[in-house]
Amino acid sequence: MNEFDLIRRYFSRLTQGGEGVKLGIGDDAAILGLPAGHELVVTTDTLVAGRHFEVHADPAGIGWKSLAVNLSDLAAMGAQARWVTLALTLEQADDAWLAPFASGFGELATLHRVSLVGGDTTRGPLSITVTAMGVVPAGRALRRDGARPGDAVCVTGTLGDAALALRRGADLDGDALRARLDRPTPRLAAGLALRDRAHAAIDLSDGLAGDLGHILRASDVGARIEADRLPASKEFLRHLSAEMSRVALQAQGGDDYELCVCLPPDALERARADLDGLPLTVIGEITVERGLRFVDGAGATIAVPPHGYRHFDE
C-alpha cells in the first residue's frame, strides 16, 4: 500500500471538502483559503512512542491525543481550528493499529470540523507529527504577553487529573481520570469565548507552574497563586492518596490541556456566561512584583518549582 492508498483508506472521510479547502490531499501541496481579514495560526507537535505514549497503548487514544495537543495550542490563541497535516512514521502498515488510530484521530477532527489536508507516511520508529492550522480575525489572537497587574489568573476545568492517572498507572480503576490523560479535551470553544475578554492565555501542557511562568516572563509581571483554589475533580480527590502532594500533581503534573487565562476581574462574570457550563476558576492574581509565588490558605509561601516537561533537560 502506498501513502496515497493508506491515507485514502483510513482517513478519507477527513479529507473531503472542509471550510476553505480549495485543494486537499493528492497534489504536491494543499491550497487553502482564509476568510478576508483573518490571520493564519499554526502550531506543530510530535508524539514519540515510548516517550509520549506507551508503545502498546490503545491506538485510538494515540490518534485522539496527537490531534488534541495541537488543537489545544490553537485554543490558547483563540483561533478557530480549520486544517491539519499528519506525518505518520510507522514500523509497518498494520490494519490492527491504523484503523483504530484513524478512528480516534477522526473522532476529534470531526467534532471540531477540522480537515486533513496533507500527510506523509514513512517507515521507521513509531512517531506522529501533527501541524494544526486555524484562523483568527486579524490582530485579535490571544497571546502570552498581555497579562497586566491586577488581572485575575483563571483556569478552565480541573487540574491534576492526568498527572494522577499517570502516577497511579495500572493501579488506577478511575476511568474518568484515565480518559483525561488519554483523551484530553482541547478547549477550543473556551478559547474563542475568552478571546476578546482575556489579556493573555496559554494551554497547560507542561504543568501550571511552568506554563504560567511563560506568561509572566512574556508579560514582564508576576503572579500570586493560592494553592487551595486550584480546581480539582471529584475523581481526583477520591483517588488522591495521603502520601501524594496535591499541589505537585496540580501545578507541576502537566497534560491538563486546560487554558490558563489572565483577565480583568470585571470581565469574569460575562466570560463565565459564555463558557457553556465549563468552570472558570480564579486561582490568583497578576502582580507587579516579578516571579511566581504559590501560597497556602494562611498566606505562607509554598515551594513549587516550575517543573515544565523539558525534552532535553537530562
**200-239 residues near a second copy, rule: CB under 8 A:** 201-203, 218
With respect to a second copy, which residue has the nearer C-beta, 155 or 240? Answer: 155
Q: Which residue, 30 or 152, is less far from a second copy as judged by CB? A: 30
Task: Out of 12, 13, 95, 120, point to the residue binding a second copy (CB under 8 A).
Answer: 120
Q: Which is nearer to a second copy, 66 or 281 (CB)?
A: 66
Phi, psi of 280 (to 5 degrees): -125, 110
Nearer to a second copy, 120 or 296 (CB): 120
For position 250 contacting a second copy by CB under 8 A, the verdict is no
**Minimal distance in Å, beta carbon 228 to a second copy?**
28
Smallest separation (angstroms) from a second copy to the CB of 13 = 20
Among 19, 44, 111, 227, binds a second copy (CB under 8 A): 44
Q: Report the alpha-carbon distance of residue 204 to residue 275 in Å, rounded.
A: 18
96 is a contact residue toward a second copy (CB under 8 A)? no
Q: Which of 32, 108, 147, 249 binds a second copy (CB under 8 A)?
A: 32
Residues in 2-21 at the binding interface with a second copy, rule: CB under 8 A: 2-3, 6
Question: Which of the stretches 125-133, 168-176, 224-232, 289-297 binds a second copy when contact is defined by CB under 8 A?
Answer: 125-133
Q: Based on C-alpha coordinates, what's the Rg of the chain?
A: 20
Q: Are 97 and 53 in contact (CB under 8 A)?
A: no
Q: Which among 282, 186, 152 is positioned nearest to 230, based on CA atoms?
A: 282
The residue from 14, 41, 194, 271 that contacts a second copy (CB under 8 A) is: 41
**Helix orientation angle between 59-76 and 175-182, rounded to the nearest 10 degrees:** 70
Sole residue written with cell 485543494: 23
Query: Cα dihedral sign for 211, 214, 215, 220?
Result: positive
Work out whether 295 is an interface residue with a second copy (CB under 8 A). no
Give me the residues paired with residue 138 across strands: none
Q: Which of 117, 153, 163, 292 binds a second copy (CB under 8 A)?
A: 117
d(CA 271, CA 188): 14
Examine residue 146 and tell whether it contacts a second copy (CB under 8 A): no
Residue 272: strand, helix, or coil: helix
Question: What is the rounded CA–CA span in Å between residue 183 and residue 39?
Answer: 29
Cα dihedral angle (47, 140, 220, 160), rounded to 10 degrees?
Answer: -40
Note whether 1 binds a second copy by CB under 8 A.
Answer: yes
Q: What DSSP string runs through 129-143? A: EEEEEEEEETT----
| Footprint on residues 50-79 left by a second copy (CB under 8 A) | 50-52, 73-74, 76-77, 79
**Is residue 278 a contact point for a second copy (CB under 8 A)?**
no
Query: Closest separation between CB of residue 31 and a second copy, Å?
Result: 5
Q: How far is the CB of 201 from a second copy (least distance, A)?
A: 8
**Cα angle 213-185-217, degrees, rounded to a multiple of 5:** 10
